[in-house]
Amino acid sequence: MATSSNKPDVKKKNPLANLQRIGIAGAGGIGGFVVSGLFDYGVNRKQFPFNDFAIDLFDDDIVDTGNLLHQNFTEDDLGKQKAKLLSDRYFVNPVLRFMKPEDFVNYQLVFSCVDSMEFRKQLYEYGYKHPEFVWIDGRCNSRQIGLFHSLMAAKALNPTLTDTKARAGCLRQVDKENKVSHITPQIIAGMMLQTFLNMLRSEQMNDPHVLYI
């Protein structure tokens, strides 16, 4: 008779076994919560050795009033560099510019937290050529969110990419104009963090998640 088990399926190989350096692209709606979550689960909850990793946070933007709707900032932060603010709070290294493809070689793991399809394509393509390189990509467009990662097959990833070069944000324009906020940036950041923990623990990974709420 078959029996069920509560134990997760475990993969033979830990994709982050050699993790030393983490790059986070974006300190906005998704990235700000990814950074705080890494600190919380690494330092406060002791789920991984936070201080063993060098964590660089890339962002070239400053906080404006529209960001307060859905990002990890307050009115006291207005006019200040996002990456610098978060680095002071969560003990990561600020890099005050947009992450570039030539940066990928410096990291074993990159969290993609920017709504730039051009950057996303560059990240995926680098990962195809370097199987040891790990990336976790979170997408958010108001109520719609998506989670993708480098352990997925290219045939599943490529249809999700487009040729647009526009850089957008986590909220649709209509929501920005009407000052409508959503919790979805926090939800996708949490899903990205869970994916990171699953990888560290060598647990079974799933296919992409796309949610419409």
Q: For residue 178, what are its two tokens? A: 């009407």
Q: How many CB atoms lie within 10 A of CB 94?
A: 18
User: Can you tell me the mean pLDDT for 127-147?
Assistant: 94
pLDDT digit string, tens, across residues 38-82: 999 999 999 999 999 999 999 999 999 999 999 999 999 999 999
pLDDT of residue 168: 74
Dihedral sign, Cα of residue 5, residue 7, residue 9, residue 12: negative
| Contact status, residue 66 vs residue 176, Cβ threshold 8 Å | yes
User: Can you tell me the mean pLDDT for 131-145?
Assistant: 93
Rounded to two decimals, the pTM is 0.91
pLDDT digit string, tens, across residues 166-186: 877 787 778 778 888 889 999
pLDDT of residue 106: 98
pLDDT digit string, tens, across residues 7-20: 444 445 899 999 99
User: Can you tell me the mean pLDDT for 179-200?
Assistant: 94
- Above 80 in pLDDT, residue 128? yes
Average pLDDT, the chain: 90
At CA 88, angle to CA 33 and CA 167, rounded to 5? 45
Domains of the chain (ranges; CATH) run 21-212 (3.40.50.720)
Q: Which residues of 170-207 are buried (b: 16+ CB within 10 A; e: fewer)?
A: bbbeebbeeeeebebbbbbbebbbebbebbbebbeeee
pLDDT of residue 2: 38
For 84-122, what is the HEC assignment?
Answer: HHHHHHHCCEEECCCCCHHHHHHCCEEEECCCEHHHHHH
pLDDT of residue 213: 63
